[in-house]
Amino acid sequence: MSHAAPFNYRNAKLNCESAQLDFIAREFGTPCYVYSRAALVAAFAEFDTAFAGRDHLVCYAVKANSNLAILNLFAGLGSGFDIVSSGELHRVLKAGGDPGKVVFSGVGKRPDEMRAALAAAILCFNVESAAELKVLNQVARDMNKIAPVSLRVNPDVDAKTHPYISTGLKENKFGIPFEEAETVYVSAQSLTNIRVTGLDCHIGSQLTELDPFIAACGKMLGLLDRLEARGLRIGHLDLGGGLGISYSRETPPLAREYVAALSGCVGRRKQRILIEPGRAMVGNAGLLLTRVEYLKHTPHRDFAIVDAAMNDLMRPALYDAYHEILPVIAANADNAIPYQVVGPVCETGDFLGHDRNLALSEGDLLAIMSAGAYGMSMSSNYNTRPRAAEVMVDGDQCHLIRERESLEQLTAQERILPARIPG
């Protein structure tokens, strides 16, 4: 089973910590995202404590799940944050995050986003091109500020993951090509409002082996030595994120094994180490609760039509991603048949799982597991469907951390054209 320890059956009912999921469905409706506070705290602690006495900062990748309650929880634990937009910066600040622990990544930062980040006094901009460096220098000059910068270098390392979430190959849009990095670093030194503070790389997401991380780290350290030989002072080494989780049978390294490998690679160097885990901190801490609306039996296939859809959980449609699907109330497995678990959206790509052996009746509840990362944060209003509620479980307490959207909210920003005046 891939589901994390906080999700367990007791008396044939699936629980999140000490709360029954069927109770949560009655209380808050479906579809509904459910997260375990204990799992979130444990995931952060595993990364943070693995560094032992080494100077480090764990920067949670906000894009994985940006709910204010989750950000606030991590901020309280001392987490930093890896952001990719001014919207994410706004969320971090609203959730009580420390701007001095924020790194700003992403290939397309706009001048207004740079201004917001400079005004907030963030820790560092992870700059991804020479063109961006030039614009950032100008924006900082206009504000009479110095922008702290690390260059995101593309190490051309194969992350061995899905091509859509591989970011460290030379054909990807991310980062500065490895062979150009030294030149760009030297040119950055001459910019009046840029202060080079770090070196950054990120090679992809959902990595299940340590070798690509070690290869990228080794290349970064070689570059670091060359930069220091040129007199550049590099204060921190940002080795990115990307550690995978178990969705079905994957066996990714544990957080402590990942940190130990990076620390061993860096060795005695004094630079502060930054990492940017996202999925590994929230993925297995959440699930999507959904109800079976109809069972549709055809001569070719059997369909379980549920009330959650691709707009709620995009990953299966986008990546053909696998999520384990469990009955909330365990049924007799002897009656199980292979179901296509599909949503009500008008797309053949609207599926949550293919060929799942389940014993189902209409009205049954299902838990789509490992949905804490890139679930709610990628959800949409396609087919004018309100986005799901989100609930955080703390022991036996259930807290609504996002209300389900109303239909009125979905149309509140829209305007009908004024009547045309004849003639």
Identify whether 265 is a catalytic site residue.
no
Alpha-carbon distance of 348 to 381, in angstroms, equals 17
Phi and psi, residue 209, nearest 5°: -130, 155
For residue 102, which phi and psi values (nearest 5 degrees)?
A: -105, 130
Measured CA distances, 296 to 125, 274, 341, 361, 419 (Å): 52, 50, 11, 11, 46
- Burial string for 204-220 (b: 16+ CB within 10 Å, else e) reads bbbbbebebbebbbebb
**Cα dihedral sign for 74, 75, 79, 83?**
positive
DSSP-assigned beta bridge partners for residue 20:
15
69: how many CB neighbours lie within 10 A of its CB? 18
- Helices (H), ranges, 190-311: 211-229, 255-266, 279-282
Catalytic residue among 16, 124, 265, 346: 346
* Cα dist from 9 to 18, 74, 105, 288, whole Å: 10, 28, 40, 16
CA dihedral for 161, 164, 165, 170, sign (positive or negative): positive
**What CA–CA distance (Å, rounded) separates 184 from 187?**
5
**Active-site residue list:** 346
